[in-house]
Amino acid sequence: MDPDFGISRLDQESVGTHGWQVRLQRKGVRHGRFFSDSAWGGRESSLRIARQYRDRLIGRPGQNVSPSSASERSHTGPNSRTRSGVVGVTRVVQRSAKGVEYCFWQASWMRQDGRREIVRYSVLKYGDRTAFEKACLARRKALE
């Protein structure tokens, strides 16, 4: 596991804010807390406290989520909250400056290093159903 999984550094000179932000989502519930350098005794100390907080969130009884599986475990089955029925797969329509519409199915996921990956399949090239299936398959393979 990345030692800073779920933790970001915030330095805003204009308002004098310096510290570490913990942001995690578990079972649909978002958790977040800011650990200021000045309140926690400096940069290293606030990072240590932020990590402890994050570790407590991950290790909460009943959560059943480990940090290494958190990014691997993604919703890949049908889901009523998405139009496509598959989390991470979306039908996108873009319009050019000349008014031409381009339709494609887009699959997205988070890589192990925390970066977002996106692939697109053209409806014009593959047809609507095949483009959708290719996007679903790409996302499923990437999350294996």
Percent pLDDT > 70 in the chain is 82
Tell me, yes or no, whether 11 and 51 share the same domain. Answer: yes
pLDDT tens sequence across 53-108: 888 888 754 444 444 344 433 444 444 556 677 888 999 888 878 878 889 999 99
Are residues 63 and 11 located together in one domain of the fold?
yes
pLDDT at residue 85, as a whole number? 75
DSSP state of 78: B
In a domain, 93, yes or no: yes
> What pTM was estimated for this model as a whole?
0.44
- Residue 66: the pLDDT is 42
Is the pLDDT higher at 7 or at 66?
Answer: 7
50 shares its domain with 98? no
pLDDT in the model for residue 136: 92
Range of the domain at 112: 89-143
Residue range 36-57: average pLDDT? 90
- Cα 66 to the center of its chain, rounded Å: 16
Q: Are residues 33 and 61 in the same domain?
A: yes
21 and 48 belong to one structural domain: yes
Q: How many domains does the chain have?
A: 2
Q: Which of 18, 43, 70 is at the close of a domain?
A: 70
Verify that 52 and 96 share a domain, yes or no.
Answer: no
- Answer yes or no: do 11 and 66 share one domain: yes
Inter-residue contact 50 to 57 (CB < 8 Å): no
How many CA atoms are closer than 13 Å to the CA of 54, on its beta-carbon side?
24
Domain end (from 39, 70, 101): 70
Query: Are 63 and 98 part of one and the same domain?
Result: no
pLDDT digits (tens, 9 = 90+) for 22-38: 998 877 778 889 999 99
Bridge partner list, 33 = 22
65 with 13, same domain: the answer is yes
CA distance 117 to 96: 23
The answer on 94 and 51 residing in a single domain is no
**In the prediction, which pLDDT does 49 show?**
93
Note whether residue 98 is domain-resident.
Answer: yes
Rounded-to-integer distance, Cα 2 and Cα 46, Å: 17
